[in-house]
Amino acid sequence: MFKRLRYLYSLIIILPFINGCVPYFNQPLSEQRAELGAETPARKSLVNLPEPKEKMVAAVYKFRDQTGQYKPSATGANWSTAVTQGTTSILLKAIEESGWFIPIEREGLSNLLNERKIIRSSRANYAGQSEKSQLLPPLLFAGLVLEGGVISYDANVLTGGAGLKYFGAGASGQYRQDRVTVYLRAISTSNGRILKTVYTSKMILSQKLDASVFRYVKFKRLLEAEVGFTYNEPSEMAVKEAIEKAVESLIIEGVIEGLWDLKNPEDVNSDVVTAYVESKEDNQGSDFFDQLITPRRRNFGLGFNAGSWLYMGDYSHTEMEAAGGVSLLYDTQSALQFGLNFSRGDLATTESFQRTYNSLDVTAKYRLLPYKDWTPYIEGGLGVFSQQEKSAYTIDLSNSIYTQALYGAGVEFLFNDRLGLNLSIINHYIFNDKIDGLKQGNYNDYFWEGKIGLNFYFDKIWDTSKKKKNRKEKIRKKQKEKPISTE
């Protein structure tokens, strides 16, 4: 026993140090040279958008941080803002990289106008310059004005952690999620109409992992060691990704609604546009934490299972015997699932008896997490139970039939919407004390059933090819509708 504990103690000590080696190799122990800024995952789809028929001149006067949020601090007041104040520059870079806009300077317009005055004044001071040579080209004017801002920064949306210590050695971890939200709208400069408004959000992750050991290894010899690291996702990168996603959304939504045209109209069915439409549909069936709240299983199913029965009756020295069964399932597309189950197995003791029984029952399952890939559930139902007598030619089911009640719990793991792995433990309570041929005591006979099985769901919720076809038809229909005039 003490030897095992020593091995466990050694493992607990070693694992944190192995874990600590990961951040060690990324420690900033030397100077780092300037390099190009990191790119976000949203940029890939932004730069791969279909080409426009004609680029639009767009102006951004001020894309502001409208949150007024300061960085959260556990030590006291922190007057640093939680959101970068350079969001206008981020938006200008995003619309430039999209290939759909010609961005023009408006944030520093006064500086630009002053510089043009200096140029005209300098030219006028040189003799021999003609009046025509003193003229500057006119400034571009915008057909669209992009407005909006960072409208929300929610700190500590989700927090948590875990830790373990054993004999002075242990490790712990903590995490926190913040959320930033961006709104973006396109405005026609000819009539002031708001053509389209979109909004995006991004979660910001912060993690802290540490491990330590504090123990007397010898008389007057104390061992103390600790290692750890903290990771904070840069808020600037989160804002950048949210803005880039907003620009992508604005362009694709405008294409779908016919506000602006593609160079090649067939590109409306490109991978980028299709992926955006699919993600938008999925987003309508997701909750705040991006967890799907749409049905995960098809309506009907067929289950096969195998396991064992453990008899609990009037005889002692019980044994576990093999059992198997089949189930017809009906799923309500929510938390409830109903099943018609038939199973067969043996109830036995070491010496007294061993008999084969049939069980037919109707059950209802209540899933605690119906929209996740895995969900625990509780189960209950009613049914009949009878002994099976075998002869040389027939199977006799004419013996006494007993009623039974079932209750239990289990968990189901979904591989996809067609296949699931099911694990459960169920108690079969028989409303009779004679199934084993002996009536004794104050309680009826019952048995436990433990089983593992596969559930095959075969009724289609929605055909994938039909779904894609309807998406394309929906896009074409919107494009055929008369677009909102921008004149």
For every residue of 184-246, DSSP letters joined together read EEEEETTT--EEEEEEEEEEEEEEEEEEEEEEEEETTEEEEEEEEEEEE--HHHHHHHHHHHH
pLDDT in tens, 87-122: 999 999 999 999 999 999 998 889 999 998 888 888
C-alpha–C-alpha distance, residues 103 and 443, integer Å:
83
pLDDT in tens, 125-140: 775 555 555 678 888 8
Q: Which residues of 274-291 are buried (b: 16+ CB within 10 A; e: fewer)?
A: eebbeeeeeeeeeeeeee
Residue 119 corresponds to which tokens in the numbers above? 């140029």
Residue 157 identity (one-letter amino acid): V
β-pair type (64-65, 144-166): parallel
Whether residue 303 contacts residue 452, with contact meaning beta carbons closer than 8 Å, is answered with no
pLDDT in tens, 414-452: 988 789 999 999 999 988 887 777 777 677 888 999 999
Q: How high is the mean pLDDT of the chain?
A: 81
Is 395's pLDDT higher than 80?
no
CA-based end-to-end distance of the chain: 85
Give me the torsion for CA of 80, 82, 85, 89, rounded to 10°.
140
Is 1's pLDDT higher than 70?
no
Q: How confident is the model at residue 84 (pLDDT cuts 50, 70, 90)?
A: confident
Mean pLDDT of 177-198: 92
The pLDDT of residue 69 is 80
Q: Which residues contact 246 (CB under 8 A, 6 or more apart)?
A: 148, 182, 183, 184, 198, 199, 200
pTM of the model: 0.67
pLDDT in tens, 267-313: 888 888 888 888 887 777 666 666 666 777 888 999 999 999 998 87
Q: Which residue has the higher pLDDT, 78 or 297?
A: 297
Whether residue 185 contacts residue 197, with contact meaning beta carbons closer than 8 Å, is answered with yes
- Range in 20-29, 231-240, 295-304, 376-385 with the lowest mean pLDDT: 20-29
